[in-house]
Amino acid sequence: MDTLAALAASLWPGPAWVLGLAVAISFGAGVVRGFSGFGYSALVVAGLSPFVLPGPLVVAVLMLEVVASAGSVRQVLPDVHRGWHRSLLTGNLLFVPVGLAGLAWLDPAVVRVLLSALVLVGATSVRFTLGHRLAPTPGLRHLAGVSSGLLNGFAASGGIVAALLMTASGLHPRLLRATMISVLLWISAYALVWSGLAAWAGEPSLLGAQAVGWALLLWPTMALGMRMGSRAFVHARADRQAMLVLDTLIVVALGALVTAWVRLPAP
């Protein structure tokens, strides 16, 4: 019995309840990702960052976004909206490094609060923007690119901002889903390159053994959840798709923000 306990402790040095929470959140976030094309990273980071070191977790979900999108990007390419796709890629290429710098250098306790707050504000904004329309001008698309780039680097959650503005412009959920799947593939890979450069330059808090361990732990339940979510997408109404994703994000982000705030060290 002692040997089994020692083996379990070596595989998972943290509390057992955090392991259970991570698996459950990853599965639920995988369902959302398969259903909508985005939301996995935001849910996982918001749900787990109050309890674990945020940097490796963010890098791990970037890895998973690459794997998840690579498996389905070819199927959705005909539905990708070229204008939105180009603007989002450009903004992310310029501003992902800025977000990653903040993630690496800020105090982890402050990062936890900021991560949860950003996800909550983004999801709430999207939720209450549904039904309102903005003209899909180049300026709107560039704003989405810049904002999502900063948030992708800082929290691997730039899909929230992009979805906000694409939804507000009236883009059909099928096109939104396809565009996000493709964008997340390329931008997550790009962010991982910058994380590797940061580690090479002497900032190991992002890309390292912890990040790889998180990715291996979360991948099986993410894959199972995505398969279920993809099947549900085929039969669901477009308005219900958006509502389900956003309501889930709001609840998780609000709980994470309260938890992270309570856990802030006393001044």
Q: What is the pLDDT of residues 140-199, one digit of tens each?
A: 888 888 888 887 777 766 777 787 778 778 788 788 888 888 888 888 888 888 877 777
CA distance 15 to 231: 34
Mean pLDDT (the chain, rounded): 78
Burial class (CB in 10 A: 0-12, 13-18, 19+), 77: exposed
Q: Where are the domains of the chain?
A: 18-262
Please tell me the pTM assigned to this model. Answer: 0.73
Give kind and range of the element (H or E) at residue 250: helix 238-262
Looking at residue 3, what is its pLDDT?
54
CA 24 from chain centre, in angstroms, equals 16
SS3 206: coil
Both tokens assigned to 246? 């956003």
Both tokens assigned to 206? 């992002």
